Structure 1
């Protein structure tokens, strides 16, 4: 029997999230048998190539860069060609980030403002100048034109060391950004730290569960389920929240027990340290609070919570230390 394959184009498959998404699809043999994957080497500046491949794809999953507007435009141009040539409506799953929700608390207070992915009006009121917002609006506008169905996934603090065949063969990056950066910074200053008092909130999600949200959305859309897209197509990836002090506190305890910190008590980053370690940014002091109501409503079932995120800090420290010993 001839099985019609769905052509899927994943950008960023060597990265943390993109690699996890590809690994999640390939791990499910029933799912993998329906899709066609071929390695492509290139960059986001290879615009003609991106447009050409997108024009031959049923699904594009964009995981490489939430802010690269030109590559996003090239992908949409290719998907529009696909629609005009085949008469079908291809799918774009774009990776944004919950940083679009951030305030300027500087770590000094927690916010009562909570965003819901089920509240399209609330999301639509976000100012165009916020992080990732210009690309998000470009994606929604394309859906409005009708030639593509778009879904925007907004991962929160993604944690956990990725695993699987793609990690084993060295194809993908196994580490996230936020917690490893804080580990390296704390090792260098010999004390865990945070922006301000660390009273600000951030959401969190495990890498495997973030990857599964992409699968859920793709399968639902391809099967014809009536799930929200375009303006109603924002999907948060979160399953708990934490204050940044909680991360600093656990990190300080772990490092002190390992005799890698002079004290278990974290301290605020100085202005000089923010410049040295974070290019002057105080993004780790912002409040980002959200609830993934729409994501759960379509069948996404994350189960790991904030305690699992905190428990992931020690393995991150061990991984970084092992890498240091090898160099």
Structure 2
């Protein structure tokens, strides 16, 4: 009898991670998986154990635990924090240990984001620059100071050294209210960050807002589609490990449509009026004071980030939701946030 595939996942309680975890449990090979998750809450750890997950209480601050869990795994799905450089270094130490013990490079499926492509347009201009995830030479032109880039570079360098095979997924603006058994059990966060933060700020100020004039362009992707991408990459690795790009060739954008910030804020304005939370549909520009208050002084929502998911689609990813679905999701998201009094996380 062959030994089980040992999978370690970070972010199981999160928006992406919980959705990926459910797909792993529904996978045709699930009976051959031994899944371990690191969870901060002891109560939630007990909840995951009821679903057959080996949930360990800890966090990225527990360096030895994180390294040991990584070293014990054949595959790691990292869905927590695209900017957690120290955690990435710790996991890479774990991967090196695994490689030294087995002579086989373990698999690292890491979450970055298309924020790595972002400029400083501040909502005042669009861009014609479009990044292609299948063009490694172009991706390498990204400055090391770009968001998430320091972590991405550490991981691709480790892949180059040969002790890990790394696949970096970069989702766009993720939307949709996550659903599934972990949401129903109260174990998984069902909201994204960007859209709920914009909603929360607009509710508080009594009118939909935008950075600058909102002409900047971003891609978008539904949470179910991006969760599918993680599984499609796993399947491709399993079926044709030498044919799927990794390391410098292993960037996979999760995107399937584009929107301007103005279009999103305008739709948000309609929703706020319909729900009695504003008297005006037209969005207005956030003041500097509001940018400081709601977004920690960052004009990030006013940046441009444009890409092509050619690498992702080449391995069989077939996203279904489009920008039309994104805009249609805004009012239900507002309704859910109002109903649940959801606490909005500030953008960094």
Tell me the SS of whatever aligns to 1:40.
strand
Aligned to 1:252: 269
Aligned to 2:6: 7
Tell me the SS of whatever aligns to 2:252.
strand
Aligned to 1:34: 32
Within the candidate set 302, 307, 321, 2:338 is matched to: 321
Per-residue CA distance 1:247-288 (angstroms, 9 max, x = gap): 000000111122210201110101111011111100000000
Separation in 1 of the partners of 2:170 and 2:63? 24
Over 2 Å off, 4+ runs:
222-225
Aligned to 1:107: 123
Aligned to 1:87: 103
- Normalized against structure 2, the TM-score is what? 0.91
Pairwise CA distance, 1:224:
3.4
Are 1:47 and 1:70, in contact at CA under 8 Å, matched by a contact in 2? no
Aligned to 1:157: 173
Pairwise CA distance, 1:32:
1.7
Query: How many residues were matched structurally?
Result: 324
Separation in 2 of the partners of 1:6 and 1:324? 40
Within the candidate set 246, 254, 261, 2:278 is matched to: 261
Per-residue CA distance 1:48-81 (angstroms, 9 max, x = gap): 1111111110001111111111111111111111
Aligned to 1:73: 89
Show the 5 A alignment for 1:208-223: 208-223=224-239
Within the candidate set 113, 123, 126, 1:97 is matched to: 113
Q: Cα RMSD between the aligned structures?
A: 1.3
Pairwise CA distance, 1:223:
2.9
Pairwise CA distance, 1:236:
0.3
Show the 5 A alignment for 1:231-242: 231-242=248-259
Aligned to 2:48: none
Are 1:152 and 1:235, in contact at CA under 8 Å, matched by a contact in 2? yes
Using the TM superposition, name which of 197-206 and 315-324 deviates more.
315-324
Please say if 1:296 is aligned against 2:294: no
Tell me the SS of whatever aligns to 1:39.
strand
Which consecutive unaligned segments of at least 5 residues does structure 2 have? 36-53, 344-348
Aligned to 1:202: 218
Separation in 1 of the partners of 2:175 and 2:29? 25
Per-residue CA distance 1:65-112 (angstroms, 9 max, x = gap): 111111111111111111111122210011011111111111011100
Q: 1:309 to 1:325 in 2, by over 3 A?
A: closer
Pairwise CA distance, 1:325:
9.8
Using the TM superposition, name which of 75-84 and 193-202 deviates more.
75-84
Separation in 2 of the partners of 1:285 and 1:165? 35
Are 1:154 and 1:234, in contact at CA under 8 Å, matched by a contact in 2? yes
Pairwise CA distance, 1:292:
0.3
Aligned to 1:125: 141
Pairwise CA distance, 1:232:
0.2
Separation in 2 of the partners of 1:160 and 1:113? 27
Pairwise CA distance, 1:315:
1.2
Are 1:202 and 1:243, in contact at CA under 8 Å, matched by a contact in 2? yes
Separation in 1 of the partners of 2:222 and 2:263? 17
Pairwise CA distance, 1:45:
1.0
Per-residue CA distance 1:108-159 (angstroms, 9 max, x = gap): 1110000000110010011111111110000000000111100000010000
Pairwise CA distance, 1:34:
2.3
Separation in 1 of the partners of 2:275 and 2:162? 57
Separation in 2 of the partners of 1:34 and 1:54? 19
Pairwise CA distance, 1:4:
2.9
Aligned to 2:39: none
